Structure 1
């Protein structure tokens, strides 16, 4: 006869083993996450990835001289002493006139003066000089030069990404509740600027018996739903501003939210990104210990 104490111990061990087996992630699912994470690192670290950002310079009306010399209105961290001058007119149109001695290229061609187009037929107008590239963006109704350097120290000294253990319980099926009509709310970015966002509905789900809701932002009709979230780990275990979660559009009133694929925004890696902050509805009262942890590398 098996002693009662030993029998109880075997039963507890059996229950724990069964629970662990039930909670173990599917190997195919783990493999898919690992592929996605490897692709993300590749995108971050490529020469024109987020780690290459070295500047975000808002333009003043009129002439804006650009270069590494201290007498420029816009002082770059690398590149020629005097790259050229960007003229911003009253209509918001920007034109760059390059210093011939800088030996710069505009979309691969030697040009001395050209309008800076944000969204041309072939993409934005890109000025290249050595390892440095710059182009025009608009944020909060203001025009700015975004500057990249493929030799950026952040890119060269990338510390890698840390993750929480994969937790299948944080891959949840949510109910889609459409808004008729879609709502518009103001979304603030990390610079304090606000812009309107279209909210077509909300995702409603449960985790550990608690009902939770999230609002997605719509970037374009052919893009996944985009959720900007914060939770009880924000500022401690995860990046303080936000994390991003993407999901395929709902089908038959359902969608899958996989928090194991929650990622840090670009501003977790560089101070020169302009990331959106979560609306108050997306500040979850629970700790989402899934996906990416706080970046441990240099930021500023």
Structure 2
């Protein structure tokens, strides 16, 4: 009995030692990180979120008849069999609805030809169908235009599995130096389709990790929030092979920004083949394993299982 009590006492001491040795993270840090993860999932799974994409169709001709029917020049995966005609006149794009297609724009029935504004315009046109479950929009990439189709019943949304993360670690929430560039500087950024576009490049962020100084080019306009697109030693080995993104706030009066790698997230292309994701520039490929933030998304199989 005494031996048993002694063994039990030793076991309790060992457990306490392990507990004492475990890192004690700030409760607010963990709570805020959990909130961010929930918001990330909510946005991804919104009825018009990235997982709702069901089609990306490039406009190659001056006019295309579109719809889900077999006679459509551009055949959509969802929606009316005959939806309408998309036509292009120079840099202007028009949409003419098919009678009886039951389309809406801003909650109003679409019954006549309208200007089809792209995501480059101040107010992009969103054409809804299937009682609001579907949405047709126009994207502009370099010299090309494409139709983007979303639907609330998209397989990527309906069969979504889960988001996996490395354990939250405050050491990866880093205060970095912001190094501004000359006004108007841009950086060529290639996307997953092979198109290269010049993006505003307000500056770079520099930070220390593992005894070295690292530098990432930041995309965005001066005085506005920035985005980092980066790859690291975990890319393709735990994290998404084509890189990850981090949103960064406006630099403060001391030219400092917080770069929280715990909030590194996958681009839309990790979830759907119908996105045109920018890729990390050569300057942002780090020989550093960033074991923080979002891991590779495991897509479901044909049966909808991970």
Classify the TM-score, shorter chain: 0.7 to 0.9
Residue 173 of structure 1 aligns to a residue whose secondary structure is strand
Structure 1: runs of 5 or more not aligned:
1-11
> CA deviation digits over 1:42-72, x for unaligned, max 9?
1111111111111111112322010112221
**For residue 49 of structure 2, what is the aligned residue in structure 1?**
49
Q: For residue 17 of structure 1, report the CA deviation from its aligned partner.
A: 6.6
**For residue 161 of structure 1, what is the aligned residue in structure 2?**
163
**For residue 276 of structure 1, what is the aligned residue in structure 2?**
278
Q: For residue 221 of structure 1, report the CA deviation from its aligned partner.
A: 5.2
Aligned 8 A contact 1:270 1:299 in 2: no
Q: Is 1:286 equivalent to 2:288 in the alignment?
A: yes
> CA deviation digits over 1:198-232, x for unaligned, max 9?
222211111121221111000x4564210001001
Change (3 A) 1:178 1:16: farther
Aligned mate of 2:179, from 171, 177, 180: 177
Q: For residue 98 of structure 1, report the CA deviation from its aligned partner.
A: 1.3
Q: For residue 142 of structure 1, report the CA deviation from its aligned partner.
A: 1.0
CA distance in 2, matches of 1:107, 1:120: 18
CA distance in 2, matches of 1:187, 1:122: 23
CA distance in 2, matches of 1:221, 1:203: 13
CA distance in 1, matches of 2:54, 2:128: 14
CA distance in 2, matches of 1:174, 1:116: 42
**For residue 129 of structure 1, what is the aligned residue in structure 2?**
129
**For residue 59 of structure 1, what is the aligned residue in structure 2?**
59
Aligned 8 A contact 2:119 2:140 in 1: no
Q: For residue 136 of structure 1, report the CA deviation from its aligned partner.
A: 1.3
**For residue 78 of structure 1, what is the aligned residue in structure 2?**
78
Q: How many residues align?
A: 285
**For residue 9 of structure 2, what is the aligned residue in structure 1?**
none
Q: For residue 127 of structure 1, report the CA deviation from its aligned partner.
A: 1.5
Q: TM-score, with normalisation over the residues of structure 2?
A: 0.86
CA distance in 1, matches of 2:104, 2:16: 68
**For residue 141 of structure 2, what is the aligned residue in structure 1?**
139
CA distance in 1, matches of 2:226, 2:100: 47
Q: TM-score, with normalisation over the residues of structure 1?
A: 0.88
1:1-80 mapped onto 2 (5 Å cutoff)? 20-21=22-23, 24-80=24-80
Aligned 8 A contact 1:269 1:299 in 2: no
**For residue 215 of structure 1, what is the aligned residue in structure 2?**
217
> CA deviation digits over 1:157-216, x for unaligned, max 9?
111200001122211121222223553221111111011122222111111212211110
1:227-246 mapped onto 2 (5 Å cutoff)? 227-246=228-247
Aligned 8 A contact 1:263 1:292 in 2: yes
Aligned 8 A contact 2:126 2:135 in 1: yes
Which shows bigger deviation, 112-121 or 130-139?
A: 112-121
Change (3 A) 1:132 1:30: same
Q: For residue 106 of structure 1, report the CA deviation from its aligned partner.
A: 2.8
Q: For residue 270 of structure 1, report the CA deviation from its aligned partner.
A: 1.0
Q: For residue 298 of structure 1, report the CA deviation from its aligned partner.
A: 4.0
The RMSD of aligned alpha carbons is 2.4
Aligned 8 A contact 2:223 2:251 in 1: no
